[in-house]
Structure 1
């Protein structure tokens, strides 16, 4: 190989190396922390929008809204602090779930997100571009497979929104229990519909001391 050919080869290899180094590194916007069994906490990382909402989509197609408020809008989410100031217990019988965290620069209505998520439930991975939402929105998807067992935790607020085929809500079921100094105001307790509403519930468990 001549000196000129060696020089060309070195330049080409350098160009390839620079291209690889310039590829953006995708970092997670939130961390899913397993508390044991079927209980998890989800913690926003630095640099995210100040508001968020959390949904799960199970293998059986059940969609649950885990951050429910009286206004049914995004809640304030702080860096390094668990969303809703709670742990979430995922129903084991529903199998693996995809947890979607919607970060936004303004409070947005959860009903619109739930409807669009229902329409897109068959898509394996979703981004903010798949949704029609106001302002600046980013989406983080985290996967979790609940397992039986885990230490029991006292104090719970249960809130679910199960969406049937066609996007109509089957009903909202909430259950009140003692919660010690919650960081967010949960939705007020409501009676389940006479026909039974949704099938089961996800549990948001407060463990603040």
Structure 2
């Protein structure tokens, strides 16, 4: 009897080492990000995904946001190759890089328990469907996005009523407005000589 148990143990180890050779199995992405601006992004499901989804972000600062919020607070229909919710999502720059969690499911699931479980698992590096207590078939795709600042800082000086600068504000000259104009002080006029 001991001989058979040793043979079975060796066979099991050989089978396990053959299928788990330490290489990561690459699977196709379930969704893609399409950057639409410095701080905006579309999330596009790929072909063959489950029909419903929910989208959450967790920022570097720990802020969790549900981006697919509906009146019923349930997952929404997500068509392949079309942006989720047919919209671009704006990510606040001040919160830093975000990790986006897209939950694909075969049925509409309530969003509240997902948000609570994300909060409970917020310190974990990777979250997968096995970490969550959700009904039906659920797949999780994790993507990262780093928003960029959209407006460069404006520097300049205050323009006086005579059209000259008073040398304040970094000595850099008059501030230029986006339309090419300059900032005027109160009491001055554009038509002043």
Q: Same fold (TM over 0.5)?
A: yes
The reply on whether 1:40 has 2:29 as its aligned counterpart is no
Aligned to 1:74: 75
Deviations, residues 102-151 of structure 1 (Å, cap 9, x unaligned): 0000000000000000000011111111100000000000001100118x
Aligned to 1:99: 100
Secondary structure in structure 2 of the residue aligned to 1:117: helix
Q: Which runs of 5+ in 2 are unaligned?
A: 1-19, 152-193
Q: Which runs of 5+ in 1 are unaligned?
A: 1-18, 151-209
Shift of 1:26: 1.5
Cα 1:23–1:95, aligned 2, differ >3 Å: closer, same or farther?
closer
C-alpha distance in 2 between matches for 1:112 and 1:23: 31
Cα 1:112–1:149, aligned 2, differ >3 Å: closer, same or farther?
same
The TM-score with structure 2 as length reference comes to 0.65
Aligned to 1:153: none
List aligned pairs for 1:7-156, cutoff 5 A. Answer: 24-149=25-150
Q: Aligned residue pairs: how many?
A: 134
Root-mean-square deviation over aligned CA pairs = 2.2
The structure carrying a bigger strand percent of its residues is 1
The TM-score with structure 1 as length reference comes to 0.60
Q: Displaced runs of 4+ in structure 1, greater than 3 A?
A: none
Shift of 1:27: 1.4
Higher relative contact order (CA 8 A, sep 6+): 1
* Bigger shift: residues 115-124 or 23-32: 23-32
Secondary structure in structure 1 of the residue aligned to 2:126: coil
C-alpha distance in 1 between matches for 2:98 and 2:26: 25
C-alpha distance in 2 between matches for 1:129 and 1:44: 21
C-alpha distance in 1 between matches for 2:33 and 2:104: 15
